[in-house]
Amino acid sequence: MSKPKVAVLLGGRSKEREVSLITGGEVYKALIQGGYPAFKIDLDENLVENLKKEQPGIVFIALHGRCGEDGAVQGVLEILGIPYTGSGVLASAISLNKVAAKRMFKAEGIPTAEFCALTQRVFKANRLKVAKELADSLGFPLVIKPASEGSTFGMSIVKDEKPLLGALEEAFKYDDEVLAEKFIEGTEITVGVLGNDEPWPLPTLEITHSREMYDYKAKYTAGMSGHIIPARISKERRERAQKEAVRVHRVLYCSGFSRVDFIVSSDGTPYVLEVNTIPGMTPLSLFPDAARAAGIEFPELIEKIVEFALEKRRL
């Protein structure tokens, strides 16, 4: 069977543009290596014209964050009838909003840190009262984060009442919705998932770093973080996390691939932090490393993701 022409969609205007350019570049190289006629499209308002002109058989979405990972681009491709990699509109939209995703986890009994969601309007109406209520209901330490931002933008760990207001103000610079969640002490791990209707987990990957959080700098500076595969927790705990990752993939209607971030607490509970429906594919990224540990080299991984997209189309 001849290989379809693949458009690698990258860049865009989100805060994660730079990361997307690297992810997209790696994906493009792997596709060329695998014999696919691939080309790149930088996401802008000419997307529809560009796609109509080039007529790709499939689009590989290598975008992170808003307007790429949140269902917007997926919706455009649905309208145009062009197959695309990864999750559809619904899964993408829910996963990018940490509040929406956590509400789903709670409803399904998937462990996730206790949290409170806040809108800008409610916060602005009475900052002091809102901060006090948060502190009373969750206690400290807690983590403040914008609902729909990645790469730890606007996020902070708050240990007592004093910096709370400032942390909330900072997070609201990034989004109209913010969440406060309990800080979970434990081992930080991530689990990649592959597949559509019968998804399976990749090996657990433990993240080590010397910063307060696994933030932008820790993620994208060589040598600032480490990947340990499998995670240094018991086999039983690793398997539990893998099971939860697959459950998260299904519950959120993900397809093709996803990566679920957890903190495993001292009693072994894997608390889900978030789901990434388009995990990074840079040379420092987690997902390709976990795949390699499962015997799947990068070009093969990219080919699998393309095949899952075509399979979903045929179902």
Ligand X SMILES: Nc1ncnc2c1ncn2[C@@H]1O[C@H](COP(=O)(O)OP(=O)(O)O)[C@@H](O)[C@H]1O
Residues near ligand X, by CB under 6 A? 113, 143, 145, 150-152, 155, 181, 183-184, 188, 213-214, 261, 263, 273-274
| Binding range to Mg ion, per CB under 5 A, among 126-134, 221-229, 230-238, 257-265 | 257-265
CB closer to Mg ion out of 261 and 303: 261
Residue 151 a catalytic site member? yes
C-beta of 212: minimal distance to ligand X in Å? 8
Question: Would you count residue 149 as binding Mg ion (CB under 5 A)?
Answer: no
Residue 311 a catalytic site member? no
Other beta carbons within 10 angstroms of residue 275's beta carbon come to 26
Residue 34 a catalytic site member? no
C-beta of 192: minimal distance to ligand X in Å? 14
Indicate which residue of 20, 92, 97, 151 is catalytic: 151
CB closer to ligand X out of 149 and 303: 149
260 makes contact, choosing from ligand X, Mg ion, none, with CB < 5 to 8 Å by partner type, with none
C-beta of 128: minimal distance to ligand X in Å? 24
213 makes contact, choosing from Mg ion, ligand X, none, with CB < 5 to 8 Å by partner type, with ligand X
Contact assessment for residue 113 and residue 186, using Cβ atoms and an 8 Å cutoff: no
CA angle 15, 277, 190 (to 5 degrees): 95
C-beta of 275: minimal distance to ligand X in Å? 9
C-beta of 88: minimal distance to Mg ion in Å? 21
Residue 16 a catalytic site member? yes
Question: Would you count residue 261 as binding Mg ion (CB under 5 A)?
Answer: yes
CB closer to ligand X out of 113 and 278: 113
151 makes contact, choosing from ligand X, Mg ion, none, with CB < 5 to 8 Å by partner type, with ligand X
Residue 192 a catalytic site member? no
Indicate which residue of 175, 177, 188, 274 is catalytic: 274
Residue 86 a catalytic site member? no
The residues annotated as belonging to the active site are 16, 151, 220, 259, 261, 274, 276, 280
